[in-house]
Amino acid sequence: MSFPLPEPTPLSQPYWDALRAGRLTFQRCGKCSHAWLPARAECPNCLSAEWDWTKASGKGRVVSWVIYHHAYHEAFKAQLPYNVALVELDEGPRLITNIVNPDLGIKADRPVTLQIEEEHGVALARFALV
């Protein structure tokens, strides 16, 4: 079974292009300054359609994480057990990711830093425990 590649839309294409170029970006509202991911056409806070893609510092913290012992997709069978983490960026947005060095000990609120990795031809925003 093939790897579940992201399916960029006209709205999310800039996010994936930026990752490929080595930058993690998020959207920031021009009206209320709310910051968010994933890509949306309107600010979920004030509903404005005025926003820009902004470069993230790449610093954040672990909110929570899980370890899969069962693969819900064929492509992840060989990787079991693997982690999926929820990271909050210092700028506020949260994203689903993987921790690249879990052997250091994943802990809630532990600081992490961006480590972009390429897999199946797509650049993914992963994080390393600091």
Partner 1 sequence: MRGKYVIAGIGHTQFGRLPGRGTVSLNVEACRNALADAGIDKSVVDALFVKVPTSRYQSMYGQTLAEAMRMQPKVGGVWDQGGATNISMISFACMAIDAGQCEVALVTLADDPKTGTRQAYEKAWGDDAAYGWFSIAAGYAMIMQRHIAEYGTKPEQFGEIAVAVRNHGAKNPHAALRAPLTLEKYLDSPFIVQPLRRDDICLVSDGAAAVVVMSEKRANELGVKAPVRILGFGQGQTSYDVPYREVLTETMAKVSAETAFKMAGLTPKDIDVAQIYDCYTIAVLMTLEDYGFCRKGEGGRWVEDGRVAAGGELPINTSGGLLSETGMPGLQLVMEGVRQMRGTSVNQVRDAATCIVSNQGGIMTTHSTMILGH
Q: Which residues bind partner 1 (CB under 8 A)?
A: 3-8, 12, 36, 38, 63-70, 72-73, 76, 79, 81-82, 84, 86, 94-98, 107-109, 119, 122, 124, 126
How far apart CA 115 and CA 126 sit, in angstroms, is 5
Query: Smallest distance, Å, CB 46 to partner 1?
Result: 16
Q: Which is nearer to partner 1, 96 or 104 (CB)?
A: 96
Query: Smallest distance, Å, CB 105 to partner 1?
Result: 12
Torsions phi, psi for 13 (to 5 deg): -55, -45
Note whether 62 and 126 are within 8 A (CB).
no
3-state helix, strand, coil in the chain (%, to 5): 15, 40, 45
Q: Which is nearer to partner 1, 11 or 49 (CB)?
A: 11
**Which residue in the block uniquely carries the two structure tokens 């672990």?**
62
Q: Which is nearer to partner 1, 59 or 92 (CB)?
A: 92
In 3D space, the residue among 34, 83, 100, 91 whose CA is nearest the CA of residue 60 turns out to be: 91
The answer for 16, left when phi > 0, alpha when psi is -120 to 50, beta otherwise, is alpha
Query: Smallest distance, Å, CB 29 to partner 1?
Result: 15
Q: Which is nearer to partner 1, 4 or 30 (CB)?
A: 4
Query: Smallest distance, Å, CB 69 to partner 1?
Result: 4
